Amino acid sequence: MTFEDDQTRRERNRAVVDKYLHSGHGDALLRRHELFCEDGISGLWTSDSREPVFAQGRENIAKYDVWSSEHFPDWAWSNITIWTTDDPDRVWAECDGEGNINPPGHDLVFYRNHFIYSFEMRDGLIYREREFMNPIVEMRALGMQTPTIELGDFPSA
């Protein structure tokens, strides 16, 4: 594989990730599964269960997108930064996200958090998307009690 081939792949993959991060709600969200491989994986790698929560397979990702449209109705990402890597099929992104959320069993609340994403690509499509965020921020937005960690004499500004 030549440098030009890698660069073309890198640019194509970056464009797919950019499209993903501009599909937080509406029709774009309901079509987002089309950005994934047939056996793709999409989900949250920071959960309260200690295990990732994810959908596997384009059909299940489409169901996940419908679920997201119902529980994150006006979600949007901003301050998006996308990094390509030495591997043209690995892309990272960092952004802020905000919107109204109403997960099952909770009232509608406004929520804002900071996100990091890892994307593994295959043939110009997303094979695996992993979302990382601070779940404590979401729990607090939902009015849930959260644990604290005593840091003692940790130096701070």
CA 7, 13, 18, 19: dihedral to nearest 10 degrees?
A: 140
pLDDT higher than threshold 90 for residue 62 = yes
pLDDT digits (tens, 9 = 90+) for 101-121: 999 999 999 999 999 999 999
Give the mean pLDDT of 89-94. Answer: 99
SS3 152: coil
> β-pairing, 36-44 with 125-133?
parallel
For residue 15, the model assigns a pLDDT of: 98
Q: What stretch of H or E contains 151?
A: none
- Percent of the chain whose predicted confidence (pLDDT) is above 90: 90
Rounded CA separation 82/71 (Å): 26
Q: What is the 3-state secondary structure (H, E, C) of 28-60?
A: HHHCHHHHEEEEEEEEECCCCCCCCEEEECHHH
pLDDT digits (tens, 9 = 90+) for 30-52: 999 999 999 999 999 998 888 99
- Percent of the chain whose predicted confidence (pLDDT) is above 70: 99
pLDDT higher than threshold 70 for residue 1 = no
For residue 3, the model assigns a pLDDT of: 67
Domains of the chain plus CATH, in order, are: 3-141 (3.10.450.50)
For residue 36, the model assigns a pLDDT of: 99
